[in-house]
Structure 1
């Protein structure tokens, strides 16, 4: 029993076990990290970006983690400092002096979080405005249609041998005028659509596949036929909601050929988990050949884009997340 009434003998077994616990933790961390690809570590869990826009998102992600880590180090450091240097066994003080109404300290822990949040808000707003900016004339426009529980893709393109005009097509009439006005002239177009529940990896059925040309800007115009979905291509590092009666849009330029996973990121019903699709990035020549293949299959024109909007909503709508 110590002079101040504490029993230090009960602490000794714990102190003896501490090195053993630390050693076991080090071995466990080393063993689990043997198969880890340390080249992926700087991305902090993010996949490899495959678009020109994705590095901006990755930079914001890394910056947010850096800010959180610095804040954590400061807070943890203060906690450990108080725990070690102001413990009762060291100061021999049963109850330390109680400090109240310290205005400088109160101002510090009020202003500091506001500064942190303001800085994060600034960089987020800056990058969001860049990522959602739309060009005057994108090279390609694809209307992505979400429905329970699959996806449809209207390629609004002037495909040789396909007659029609996307600007006057009734199946696209629910889209806002600001998008329709920028459709290519005489774009008869082609489409591809998945059947709900037809994706089955066990039988080799990949579900619907969205084709994109490498190195050319593509605008996605997102619309829904029923409930809220969310269009997420994993290596694009971003997603956007697909809302009935509200049309969102964003643009990307793919920089790497390959096949990538896409999915719905908004709980939309019983088969939400099966609402998957693939994104296939190919050369511009192969992309044009694929459009001709869809036309040869008879998949010309467009599928219905979504729920009809009132004129005021369609014309006043803003591009927002």
Structure 2
């Protein structure tokens, strides 16, 4: 029998596990670096707009600029704050031989003034730019090229093309998961690079007109008319929806937006006229007035508004 001296096998038993652990850590770090590189590569082209959706309207571009500017300011403050925290942690760390606590101060007037004035200044700047952009987004003083009356109803949309004196009416889009659902949605046509004024009304409850790609939405209130002007800057098909909880089928109150050339827009107006969809649908009518038989089911005080 051959016995290995105790002092000879000790290095062999201890070195291998440490080397294996180092290799595993190296593989994990390499894997994380690879995943991070792929994630950053996938995000290229979106950093400039703050990872927001691509804006397809003048209002969307303004909202994107406000978003990016806000993030730059917030990150700058964050970097300064983190830097000061790190400096304090390193500069005033406890060292060997320090048996007593550092001097404890109850207040520091310059520092307190600093962290009071700077936040107030930041809030004022944010308020100024937000108020400025909100005023621009809700400005309706410019003369529109196209006027479209949008009527919200549970749970669909009507579109009156005022200038062409034609309309499109929609019905509730039922999301069954089957193909062809998008074809059931009402379609709103808009000419590209033309200023469109939306005249917004509701027939029943509060709705909200929202096209996410426009990055702008506005509520539709019963008995009140709201207006919104937008210039679509890119052709294509985009999703529209209601952004205000309006009942059981709120999630299915959908429509499609097609931003097309002026020629295609004129062709669509002609097509609607040929279908006999001329004139304008009422915007102030209630459901009881539009659906036969509903009025008899509602008590007279509710219909007249009396007590």
TM band (smaller chain): 0.7 to 0.9
Q: 2:93 aligns with which of 81, 87, 93?
A: 87
Number of residue equivalences: 260
| Counterpart position of 1:111 | 117
Q: 1:29 aligns with which of 31, 36, 52?
A: 36
User: Counterparts of 2:177 and 2:237 in 1: how far apart (Å)?
Assistant: 15
Unaligned stretches of 5+ residues in structure 2: 1-21, 287-307
Q: Deviations over 1:242-289 (max 9, x none)?
A: 222332212112221111112222222222222221110111121122
| Counterpart position of 1:172 | none
Going from structure 1 to structure 2, the CA distance change for 1:210 and 1:32 (only over 3 Å counts) comes to: same
Q: Compute the displacement of 1:294 (Å).
A: 1.5
> In the alignment, is residue 195 of structure 1 matched against residue 171 of structure 2?
yes
Q: Deviations over 1:194-232 (max 9, x none)?
A: 212346663223211110011221101111222222222
Of the two, which has the highest radius of gyration?
Answer: 2
1:303 is paired with a residue whose SS is coil
Q: 1:231 aligns with which of 193, 197, 209?
A: 209
Aligned pairs for 1:18-167 (under 5 A) are 25-34=32-41, 36-88=42-94, 92=98, 95-157=101-163, 159=164
Aligned-pair Cα RMSD in Å: 2.6
| Counterpart position of 1:302 | 280
Between 1:80-89 and 1:54-63, the stretch displaced more is 80-89
User: Counterparts of 1:218 and 1:91 in 2: how far apart (Å)?
Assistant: 74
User: Counterparts of 1:91 and 1:258 in 2: how far apart (Å)?
Assistant: 71
Going from structure 1 to structure 2, the CA distance change for 1:197 and 1:76 (only over 3 Å counts) comes to: same
Normalised by the length of structure 2, the TM-score is 0.75
Unaligned stretches of 5+ residues in structure 1: 1-15, 160-188, 309-321
Comparing both structures, which one devotes a greater share of its residues to helix? 2
Going from structure 1 to structure 2, the CA distance change for 1:302 and 1:95 (only over 3 Å counts) comes to: farther
